Chain A
Amino acid sequence: MIYLELFLIFLGIGAFTFGGGYAMLPLIQDAVAARGWLTEEELVNFMAVSESTPGPFAINMSTYVGMEVGGLPGAMIATTGVVLPSFIIILIVAKFFAKFKENFVVKGCMSGLKPAVIGMIGTAVLSTGMTVFFPAGFALATFTTVSFLGALAIFGGSLIMALKKVHPIVIILISAAAGIAVGYIFGL
């Protein structure tokens, strides 16, 4: 039953998302890429689409994967799944825990989850880096190809822009133009 599977997977993603979109990436790879619903490359492509369209990454992702796997009903089910844990947890917190943030157990768990978020984003950096630089798998010969050097230059330029607080959409547009230029000039 594809709908039930979609619902349960996005319920899990919603329940274990901390620290925003990029920290979710390993979780999505675990579930979505492993089932062959999206390739690693499509996943990274979609992150760019998500940065350039309104709304939270989690909602964009669940809608997109749901549409791809099960059409409009699939999209509605996956998105309901990803929203439901937050909705229920916040209702409980709002009703019963006025001092939720000061609770010892909550504070203790959060002190473990905050550094874990960095570990998850680090994992996303590694897997995305492999997709960007070694799309056909790691090989020493790749280091001298135009495709590798072009990607490295675009990455370096984008990182400088990102650190100078250039808006993400501008960075995406510039890197798209650079990709097209490299592609046609060197005939990738």
Chain B
Amino acid sequence: MSNTQSKVKRTPKEYVTLFLTFFKIGAFTFGGGYAMIPLIQKEVVDNHKWVTADDILEVIAIAESTPGPIAVNAATFVGYKFGGFWGAFCATLGVVMPSFMVIALLSSVISHFQDYKVVQYAFYGIRAGVLALIVKAMINMYRKCPKSPVAYFIFAFSFVMVALLNMKVIYVLIACALIGLAASFVVKRREAKK
């Protein structure tokens, strides 16, 4: 990415278009994150040509390797490239707004509905269905993850620490990042010696 900030001067109307585009992206993706990527590509690269096809791959790679929801990361990045801080602000606000409004409106309904017997039965079934979706997500992640002894160790370590020993998740994640860093360092030293 040679040009990290847009040199183009944007008009207020263009910022509104940016906001509305990401509002649309936020409103039409269900299940979050990865489902959003094709729509972002279509809107941002094909329709509006705010970033190039190469740049969007970079954006997605960075969105995946920084903390936070992928959709929010991608919106902030594209918005920044579009028009600096306020571009980032408009795009992020746009992508967050639809879910915020829908859930804020639904929240009272959700808690009241749970008193009905039929809803309780429905959620009894749904919870088993959600469990299947989580298992599926784990299988997908496993397929994408590089397989190495260190990776298997971290997988086992993080599971035992959090699931069985009830350690604080944040500390375990920091420890895993440091183990990964240390392992990469050892590999680098070994290669340098050769």
Tally of B interface residues using CB under 8 Å: 103
The CA of A21 and the CA of B32, in the complex, are separated in Å by 8
Determine if A15 is an interface residue (Cβ-Cβ < 8 Å). yes
Determine if A3 is an interface residue (Cβ-Cβ < 8 Å). no
Most buried by A among B126, B173, B176, B184: B126
A23-52 interface code vs B (CB 8 A; 1 in, 0 out): 101110010000000000110111111111
Known: A121-B134, A121-B138. A89 touches B66 (CB 8 A): yes
Determine if A110 is an interface residue (Cβ-Cβ < 8 Å). yes
The CA of A148 and the CA of B71, in the complex, are separated in Å by 37
B61-104 interface code vs A (CB 8 A; 1 in, 0 out): 11101111111110011001100010010001001101110111
Q: Which residues of A contact B68 (CB under 8 A)?
A: 14-15, 17, 58, 82-83, 85-86, 89-90
Known: A27-B169, A131-B127. A188 touches B67 (CB 8 A): no
Least CB distance from A126 to B in Å reads: 5
Is the pair A26, B128 in contact by a Cβ cutoff of 8 Å?
no
Is the pair B158, A179 in contact by a Cβ cutoff of 8 Å?
no
Interfacial residues of chain A within 30-86, with CB under 8 A of chain B in the complex: 30, 41-42, 44-60, 63-64, 67-68, 72, 75-76, 79, 82-83, 85-86
Determine if A108 is an interface residue (Cβ-Cβ < 8 Å). yes
Q: Which residues of B contact A (CB under 8 A)?
A: 1-2, 4-5, 26-34, 36, 58, 61-63, 65-73, 76-77, 80-81, 85, 88, 92, 95-96, 98-100, 102-104, 106-108, 110-111, 114, 117-118, 120-139, 141-142, 144-146, 150-152, 154-159, 161-163, 168-170, 172-173, 176-185, 188
